[in-house]
Amino acid sequence: MKTVTLSTLQAVKRAGETFSCLTAYDATFAHAAGEAGIEVLLVGDSLGMVLQGHSSTLPVTLDDVCYHTRCVARGKGASLLMVDLPFMSNATTARLLEDAGALMRAGAEMVKVEGEAWMADGIRELSRRGVPVCAHLGLTPQAVHRLGGYKVQGRDAEQAGRILEDARALVEAGASMILLECVPASLGRAVTEALEVPVIGIGAGADTDGQILVMHDVLGITAGHTPRFVKNFMAEADDIQGAFRRYHEDVKARRFPAAEHAF
């Protein structure tokens, strides 16, 4: 696989194709995912739940994310490395810039930030300074307590319209990519068609430009409740790299997600 850049993903969108994304937290799994063809690796603040055993992503610190970013950067190969800004990194623009700088120095090639249209100023400042940004909309786990739990967002027309307008505003501000989590498939399609930048989905239907899952879910070792949008690819593989490869191939062929994984 050639080195994946933002330009690579933009070309995939223009061609009407799709790309695969997966979380990674260390060098070994990053290498296995890259060898399987995964185009984008995410050091997600999901590490707070799948590695640290917390009930949410909120306890994850910048130091935690920087540590895992450095690990993944050493093993990722040709994959593009995207990294989550942790809870409250977006409290002020100054903090956003400082925390994003720390992640980029640790090896990030793009940062992901949760928030709505009010994040436009911060994204604009990051973009001005050469930091590629993925804006995370829909179910934003850092806002889990405000949302009242891990619930599908955008089910009614008003909320769906607001998410679409937020996406447009953040792209206009400089976001290079949008990630939609847990929204109806119809909204995932509408946002993808409305924007020129790539749109990644997780529980957002089959029509987004890319798909992402948490590595532990792909391997069938999810603790507790298994979300509807998850599939255990380890059940169809002989080894971990085979599971990653099956996930990648099913995403590329648009076999995953299927109707049963959508809202």
pLDDT of amino acid 232: 97
- Round to whole Å and give the CA distance between 180 and 167: 9
Of residues 39, 114, 181, 260, which has the active-site annotation?
181
- 173 occurs within a structural domain: yes
pLDDT (tens digit, 9 = 90+) per residue, 46-87? 999 999 999 999 999 999 999 999 999 999 999 999 999 999
Name the pTM for this structure: 0.97
pLDDT higher than threshold 90 for residue 222? no
Residue 19 maps to which CATH number? 3.20.20.60
CA dihedral (13, 215, 53, 97) in degrees, to 10, reads: -30
Q: Which residues contact 239 (CB under 8 A, 6 or more apart)?
A: none
Name the average pLDDT for the chain: 97
Establish if 224 belongs to a structural domain: yes
Q: Determine the structural domain holding residue 116 and report its residue range.
A: 6-261
C-alpha 165 chain-centroid distance: 20
Beta strands in 85-208 (DSSP E): 110-114, 133-138, 177-181, 199-202
pLDDT at 148: 87
pLDDT tens per residue, range 127-149: 999 999 999 999 999 999 999 88
Domain count, the chain: 1
Q: Catalytic residue at 181?
A: yes
Q: Is the dihedral of CA 175, 179, 181, 185 positive or negative?
A: positive
Flag whether 1 is in a domain: no
> Is residue 224 pLDDT above 90, yes or no?
no
Are 24 and 42 spatial neighbours (Cβ–Cβ below 8 Å)?
A: yes
Candidates 173, 211, 170; CA nearest to 22 is: 211
Q: What is the pLDDT of residues 142-187, one digit of tens each?
A: 999 999 888 999 999 999 999 999 999 999 999 999 999 999 999 9
pLDDT value at position 157?
96
Query: Is pLDDT at 201 greater than 90 in this prediction?
Result: yes
Residue 119 lies in a domain: yes
Establish if 38 belongs to a structural domain: yes
Task: Report if residue 187 sits inside a domain.
Answer: yes
pLDDT for residue 120 = 98
Domain assignment present for 181: yes
Is a pLDDT exceeding 90 seen at residue 41? yes
Two tokens at 121? 């100023």
For residue 90, which amino acid is it?
N
